[in-house]
Amino acid sequence: MPKSRLNGSRALMVCASFVLAFIQAFLLCQNAAGQSPKAPQEQKVAPAYAQREQTASPTIKQKLSALRERAAKEKWTFRVSYTAALDVPLKALAATKPPEGLAELASAQNKEAFEFMKSNQFALTQEARKQAACLNTSKTFDWRKHDGETPVEDQKSCGSCWDFASSAVFESNYKINTKDTIDVSEQQILDCNQKYDCSGGWWPFDYIKKNGGLTSAALYPYTAQKGSCQSKNLLYKLDTFGFVKNDGSTPPVDELKDSLCEHGPLVVAVRATDAFQAYVDGVFNEHDPSCDVSHHDGDCINHAVTIVGWDDVKKAWIIKNSWGPDWGMQGYMYIAYDSNNIGYMAAWAETVAPSTASKLKK
């Protein structure tokens, strides 16, 4: 065969190989595109949770199996596994209780709060908000990315979620205003308020304000049980607090976003369940069947968390819990805007203004 014809045949073979490879790659892509993504429960959980689940008791394994059956039936968009919170009875973790006459209390407090918001002191704090460029029209916002969050903490087997969530809001607002990270004493709040303890409570801002402020966790450490009130140096002051809704009810999404931008992270109530305890990732979208439309929001909440941001793509809030980093996504959760009464009793706090911060750190 002439050399020119041989070279031509080889060239054709090479071209044919490239064409065949292209067709195969194209078909693979088409097949992959046609496949449905795995449901959240079919995907592997984080190694730490998977390893922990291997050591779970028969009771825990049975509970997780039942939750996963519900997940498939109710089309949950989150996953469950063996979190540290499952080692503690839910009643010992979730003990937030609305006070009697909430609507009247909220309305009266908001009148005082709005007077403060007219002051020059409040105007100073707004400069810090402007730097974060928080807008309720943004698709996403997260105070963790704007130096407005403090570390996740662990309330342990005391129903002091109301205490920790409120303290987190206090600490976050202080950090936004002053750029300083503080750790206030949840134990002081637990010991020294006259109304609430490990069996239940709600936002302690009224106590903090009347008491003249809070000391640090270093000076007054947490013990996870109510004790005798101790006198300590008060380092951090609360100027005022208020509710997103004038009657303390659950605000619409836009109003919650507005308040998040204006004041920083918010303390809110939610309905915590076995599924909530076992949450590890994804968007929590449970609608607790025990909370039907006949229930008032206040009849169907039991837990307090802190909203730190939102994600409109996921249609979810970003919340910080107080069950330690071995729950959820290192202590955080995405929760659907309409899930389990999230947002009830939403409240904000305004701590010391930047101009006076140095005077209170002595």
SS (H, E, C) the chain: CCHHHHHHHHHHHHHHHHHHHHHHHHHHHHHHHHCCCCCHHHCCCCHHHHHHHHCCCHHHHHHHHHHHHHHHHHCCEEEECCCHHHHCCHHHCCCECCCCCHHHHHHHHHHHHHHHHCCHHHHHHHHHHHHHCCCCCCCEEEHHHHCCCCCCCECCCCCCHHHHHHHHHHHHHHHHHHCCCCCECHHHHHHHCCCCECCEECCCHHHHHHHCCECECCCCCCCCCCCCCCCCCCCECEEEEEECCCCCCCCCHHHHHHHHHHHCCEEEEECCCHHHHCEEEEEECCCCCCCCCCCCHHHHCCEEEEEEEEECCCCEEEEECCECCCCCECCEEEEECCCCCCCEEEEEEEECCHHHHHHHHC
Catalytic residue among 177, 193, 302, 321: 321
Q: Which residue has the tokens 């071209």?
A: 15
Task: Measure the CA–CA gap between 228 and 220, rounded to whole angstroms.
Answer: 12
What's the token pair of residue 167? 């303290």
* Residue 295 annotated to the active site: no
What residue type is assigned to position 347 of the chain? A
* Residue 321 annotated to the active site: yes
Contact 146, 312 (CB under 8 A): no
Catalytic residue among 110, 303, 340, 341: 303
* Residue 161 annotated to the active site: yes
Catalytic residue among 110, 134, 158, 161: 161
Task: Measure the CA–CA gap between 301 and 274, rounded to whole angstroms.
Answer: 14
Task: Write out the catalytic residue numbers.
Answer: 161, 303, 321
